[in-house]
Structure 1
Amino acid sequence: MTGSTQVPYLLRAARGEVLDRPPVWMMRQAGRYMKVYRDLRDKYPSFRERSENPEIAIEISLQPFRAFKPDGVILFSDILTPLPGVGIPFDIIESRGPIIDPPIRSLEQIKQLHEFNPDESVPFIRPILETLRREVGNEATVLGFVGAPWTLAAYAIEGKSSKDYTIIKGMAFSEPEMLHTFLGKLADAIAIYVRHQIDCGAQVIQMFDSWAGHLSPQDYDTFALPYQQRVVQQVKQTHPDTPLILYINGSAGILERMGQSGVDIVSVDWTVDMAEARRRLGPDIGVQGNVDPCALFGSKPFIRDRILDTIRKAGNRGHILNLGHGILPGTPEENAAYFFEVGKQADQLLVRA
C-alpha cells in the first residue's frame, strides 16, 4: 500500500498537474468482457441485485482493479439507480435493458415526484464507496457516477431505450414547460446524489449525458446544457475541489458546449481527433479518452500505436487515458490488460517511439 499522504495519480491529473504519463481506466471496465463478472452474473442474474447489494457491487467494482490495477476504480451501479428515490420505479431486463412503467407523460406525475433522500433511497451507496476507498487506498482513485438530467428524463419519458427519442422530443417541442419542470426536479435530485457520493468517498464524479448527443446544438442549449450547469453549480457550492467529468456519446457537434457545463474534464468519444478536441475545448479544460473501443479487437501493435497517438495529441497535462465509450462485450481480456499495460508504460514507450 502506498503512503497515506500520497494523492492518487488520477486525482492529480484531474486537478491539472503535469504528469509523466496519463492515468488510465476504462468505462464499463467492470463487466461482461470479464469471465469473473460473467460467472457472478450467472449466480446473481438480477442487475439491480448486483448493483444494489453492497457485497456483490464491491466485488464487481474490484474485479478489474485486481486484474489490471487501473488508476481509477468506478462504482458498479447504473445511471437509473436514484430514480426510485424520487418516485420513478424501474427494472433492468438482461436482454432488453431498462424498463420504466408507467413512463412519465403528464404534469400530474411530475408534480407527485418527491425530494431525493439518498440515505433512505440508496442506502447501499455508502457502504460500497466507503469500502472501495479502504480497499484501494491511494493505489487508485475512486470514481462515482450519475446520469445527467436530459438522459434520465429520456429514459423516464420514453419508458425504455430508444433510437429516435420521438416521445421526449415531442414533449420538448410541444410542451416545453412541462419538460423543463421535470428536468429541474431531476437536476436537483442528481446534485444531491453527487454530493452524497462524494461524502461517501468518491474522489471524482463522472456525469453521463449519454443521449444528449442526439440533440441539435440549439436543443442541447435549451434542454441539456442548463441542467448540466445546474447540477455542477450546486455540487461546486459545497464540494468545489472534487473534479467532475462529463461524457456524451456522439458529441462531436457539441464539444465546445460540453465545456460550458462547468465540469473540469470533458470525456471525448472516438469520433473527434484528440488534438482537435484539445483545440476546441481550450487550455483550461481537461480531457478524457478517446481510443475507439473496437481498437481492442486489433493486434497489439495496433492497440499500442492508437494509445500512444492519443497520448501524444492530448499532452501531459489534464489527460485521463480511457476509451471513447465503454469496453465492449467480447473484448479479449488480454487486450484489455494490454491497454492498461501500455498506458502505464507510456512515458517509456513514447521516448522509444
Structure 2
Amino acid sequence: MAESLPLLLRAARGETVERPPVWMMRQAGRYMKVYRDLRDRHPGFRERSENPDLSYAISMQPFEAFQPDGVILFSDILTPLPGMGIDFDIVESKGPLIEPAIRTAEQVDNLRPLEPAEALPFVGEVLTRLRQSVGNRAAVLGFAGAPWTLAAYAVEGRSSKNYAVIKAMAFQEPELLHRLLSHLADAIATYIGYQIDSGAQVVQLFDSWAGQLSPIDYDTFAAPYQKRVFDAVRASHPDTPLILYISGSAGVLERMAATGVDFVSLDWTVDMADGCARLPESVGVQGNVDPGLLFGTPEAIRERICDTVRKARGRRHILNLGHGILPGTPEENARVFFEAGKSVNDLLGATA
C-alpha cells in the first residue's frame, strides 16, 4: 500500500502528505560527537566513505539520533572519479586534491567508462543495508555530483574561489570541455542508476559550483549535462524522484526547473515564497532554512521553520536547510530542527 511507503518518498512522488518530510544536507558529519569520535579512530576520509561498515554506520548516526525522514548515503561527490581513472584524495582542512588535474585532450580521451558494480561495490552494499535497516521509517537517499561540478574539481585539481582554470578551458577550448562533460554525464547517469538498483529511493544531484556561472554559461556548460543525466536516469528508472541543488542559484532558478528535474532545492538566499513564485507548479521545492540559524535559539529555529513551511504551502515541499549543516552546530539545535519539522502542523496551528 502507498501509505506504507516512507513519507519523503510519497511527498517526492507528488502524493498528498500529512506534513512536509524533513532531512538535512550533511546530516551525517562533523557536528556530531559520535562522528568525530569515529573520525579520530579512522582519520582518512576515503576510508570512512569507502569502507562499507564505516559508511553504513555513519549514514545511520543521524537517523539513530534524530529520526529524520530521509537517510542519505555517507559518501562524496568525487567517489566515482577513480572508477573513470581520476584519482583523488581529501585532506583535512584542505579539501579534495586531484593530481594530476585533467587538462589535456589525451587525459580526457583516456578516461574509462564507469562500471559502478566493479569500481564502487561499497556504495551498493551500503545502500542495500540502509534500506534493510530503515524499512519504511525513512526514505533512503542517494546522491551524485553533477558534470560541471565534477569537471571543475577535475580541471582545477582542488577547490577554487574563482574557477579560473576551468573557465579558461571553457572559453579557450570549449570542445575539450564538452567532451569531458559528456563523459561525466554518462558516467553519473550510470552511477545514479546503480544507486537506485541498490536501494536508493530518491536521488539528489549536487551541482555545487554551477552558481559560479553566468546564466548564459550555465545554459552552455551546466544545464544541458544536468538534463542529459536526468533524461538517462528517467529512461531507466522513471519512478525515482530527482532533486537538483546548486549553491548560489538565485540567478538560475527558472533554468534549473527547465532541466526536467522533479525538485529544485533552494539555498537560503532566496525567500521561499519568491522561489515558489519563480518555479513552475509542477516542480517541487526543497529547503531552505539558513544553516547559520542553527546557532540561534530554539525559538528562532521553530519560527523560521514555520515561516518556510507556511510560504511553501500548496507546493510539493521537502523541508531542509539551504546548504549543509555547519561544523560546530550544537547537536541539540539539530534535534530542535528535526522535532520542529515533524511537529510543524501543531506549531503553525499555535501561531495561526
Same fold, TM-score > 0.5, yes or no? yes
Measured in 2, the distance between the counterparts of 1:260 and 1:271 equals 20
1:314 equivalent to 2:317? Answer no
**Residue in 2 that maps onto 1:298:** 296
Measured in 2, the distance between the counterparts of 1:43 and 1:56 equals 11
Q: 3-state SS of the aligned residue for 2:136?
A: coil
Q: CA deviation at 1:4?
A: 9.8
Report if the CA contact (8 A) 2:281-2:315 is conserved.
no
**Runs of 4 or more off by more than 2 Å in structure 1?**
none
Measured in 2, the distance between the counterparts of 1:145 and 1:281 equals 23
String of CA shifts for 1:157-209, please: whole Å, max 9, x gaps. Answer: 00000000000000000110000000000000000000000000000000000
Measured in 2, the distance between the counterparts of 1:181 and 1:122 equals 23
Q: CA deviation at 1:5?
A: 6.9
Alignment root-mean-square deviation, CA: 1.0
* Correspondence for 1:56 among 51, 54, 57: 54
Measured in 2, the distance between the counterparts of 1:116 and 1:19 equals 37
Report if the CA contact (8 A) 1:275-1:313 is conserved.
yes
Q: 3-state SS of the aligned residue for 1:168?
A: helix
Alignment identity in percent? Answer: 67
* Correspondence for 1:190 among 184, 188, 191: 188
**Residue in 2 that maps onto 1:209:** 207
**Residue in 1 that maps onto 2:118:** 120
- 1:229-248 matches, within 5 Å, as 229-248=227-246
**Residue in 2 that maps onto 1:343:** 341
Measured in 1, the distance between the counterparts of 2:318 and 2:277 equals 17
- 1:109-148 matches, within 5 Å, as 109-148=107-146
* Correspondence for 1:33 among 7, 31, 34: 31
Q: CA deviation at 1:18?
A: 2.3
**Residue in 2 that maps onto 1:106:** 104
Report if the CA contact (8 A) 1:19-1:317 is conserved.
no
Measured in 2, the distance between the counterparts of 1:261 and 1:235 equals 13
* Correspondence for 2:151 among 120, 137, 153: 153
Q: CA deviation at 1:317?
A: 3.8
**Residue in 2 that maps onto 1:46:** 44
Q: Which runs of 5+ in 1 are unaligned?
A: none
String of CA shifts for 1:129-177, please: whole Å, max 9, x gaps. Answer: 0000010000000000000000000000000000000000000001100
Q: 3-state SS of the aligned residue for 2:339?
A: helix
Measured in 1, the distance between the counterparts of 2:44 and 2:50 equals 10
TM-score (norm 1): 0.98
Report if the CA contact (8 A) 2:285-2:315 is conserved.
no
String of CA shifts for 1:74-115, please: whole Å, max 9, x gaps. Answer: 000000000011110101111211000000010110000111
Q: Which runs of 5+ in 2 are unaligned?
A: none
Q: 3-state SS of the aligned residue for 1:124?
A: helix
Report if the CA contact (8 A) 2:223-2:259 is conserved.
yes
Q: 3-state SS of the aligned residue for 1:133?
A: helix
TM-score (norm 2): 0.98
Measured in 2, the distance between the counterparts of 1:150 and 1:243 equals 21
Measured in 1, the distance between the counterparts of 2:3 and 2:244 equals 28
- When residues 129 and 4 of structure 1 are mapped into structure 2, their CA distance, relative to the original with a 3 A threshold, is farther
String of CA shifts for 1:10-33, please: whole Å, max 9, x gaps. Answer: 001101122231000000000000
Aligned residues: 351
Report if the CA contact (8 A) 1:10-1:23 is conserved.
yes
**Residue in 2 that maps onto 1:222:** 220
Measured in 2, the distance between the counterparts of 1:5 and 1:125 equals 28
Q: 3-state SS of the aligned residue for 1:249?
A: coil
AA at the equivalent of 1:33:
Y
Q: 3-state SS of the aligned residue for 1:55?
A: helix
